Amino acid sequence: MEQVKGTLIALGGGDDEGLIRLIRSEICAITSHIEVIATATKTPEESGNAYKEAFEELGCHNVRFMHIDEHNPADKPEYLERMAKADVVFFTGGDQVRLASFLNDTELMRLMLHRYRTENIIISGTSAGAAIMSDSMIYDGYGHYSLIKGEMKTTRGCSFIKHVYIDTHFAERGRFGRLAHAVAHDPEYVGIGLSEETGIIIKQGDQVEVFGPGVVTVIDASEIRFSNARELGENEPVAVENLKMHLLVNGYRYCLREHLFQPVPQKRDKAMV
């Protein structure tokens, strides 16, 4: 797992006011450049401008919307110039397959990836905007049916982080089965399920910390002793032995490289030093 300088902030969907406030507190300066990408939605212009206004209400002065869709290519010179200066990129929710298809293999995406690996940029998103962050993403699978071969589907994500599946609306839409199936099939991946209004901050491409009031589910297949996931025929159910699960809440983190659950070290009160 590569060492990176950027930070990922992903929300599981639902009310995203807490995410916007967190981004505002993380970037500190109200002069920071924020780029909103709403390509995942069917109404990108309306959604993009709504998020722009939400950031501006918190005092951010340099917020802009990149209109990328069928009629507006990602590699406009203006967009490349703006991305080179961005401090924060924010992806809205919607359809993650649509979002990834318009960004992958573009100069804009290559520039984002380079800056994420080498600079202190924040890549953030909610729902679909969170799901696209890894190199592979789940885009279909419902309830217990997703534990049957052919019912859980994955495709290429945007590769800010590798060997992780990030699933959203996790508890609310019964997505445990599809995330468990995904990591049983690809045991080198760690599955991260985000409940609504709850999210993660991933620092250095490794340290996963929780924010928000809910629970983040981590599914770890690194120690499975048996799985039939790769040998199944169509419509046959998954069997797996020794699949591990962790429940993270605010104040705890998961280290992806070491597969380690631990409390977040608390900062000492300066008055007590």
Q: What is the pLDDT of residues 179-195, one digit of tens each?
A: 999 999 999 999 999 99
Q: What percentage of the chain exceeds 70 in pLDDT? A: 96
Q: How many CB atoms lie within 10 A of CB 148?
A: 17
* Assigned domain for 272 exists: no
Q: What is the pLDDT confidence band of residue 272, given thresholds at 50, 70 and 90?
A: very low
CA distance 240 to 224: 7
Q: What's the structural domain count of the chain? A: 1
* Assigned domain for 268 exists: no
Sign of CA dihedral 96, 89, 164, 17: negative
* Assigned domain for 44 exists: yes
Nearest to 130 by CA among 157, 155, 152, 109: 157
CA angle 130, 184, 186 (to 5 degrees): 65
Sign of CA dihedral 117, 122, 126, 128: negative
Average pLDDT, stretch 42-60?
94
Q: What is the 3-state secondary structure (H, E, C) of the chain?
A: CCCCCCEEEEECCCCCHHHHHHHHHHHCCCCCEEEEECCCCCCHHHHHHHHHHHHHHCCCCEEEEECCECCECCCCHHHHHHHCCCCEEEECCCCHHHHHHHHCCCHHHHHHHHHHHHCCCEEEEECHHHHCCECEEEEECCHHHHHECCCCEEEECCCCECCEEEECCCCCCCCHHHHHHHHHHCCCCEEEEECCCCEEEEECCCEEEEECCCCEEEEECCCCCEECCCCCCCCCECCEECCEEEEECCCEEEECCCCEEEECCCCCCHHHC
pLDDT at 1: 56
Residue-number span of the structural domain to which 127 is assigned: 7-262
Q: What is the pLDDT confidence band of residue 250, given thresholds at 50, 70 and 90?
A: very high
Residue 266, C-beta contacts closer than 8 angstroms, at least 6 positions apart: none
Q: Which two tokens stand for residue 251?
A: 């104040």
* Assigned domain for 270 exists: no
* Assigned domain for 191 exists: yes
* Assigned domain for 267 exists: no
Task: Report how far apart the first and last C-alpha atoms of the chain are (Å, whole number).
Answer: 36
pLDDT at 29: 73
Q: What percentage of the chain exceeds 90 in pLDDT? A: 91
Domain of 212: which CATH number? Answer: 3.40.50.880
pLDDT at 91: 98
Instruction: Please give the mean pLDDT across all residues of the chain.
Output: 94
pLDDT tens-digit map of 117-151 = 999 999 999 999 999 999 999 999 999 899 999 99
Specify whether the CB–CB gap between 265 and 207 falls below 8 A: no
Query: For the whole model, what pTM was predicted?
Result: 0.94
* Assigned domain for 2 exists: no
* Assigned domain for 170 exists: yes
pLDDT at 31: 86
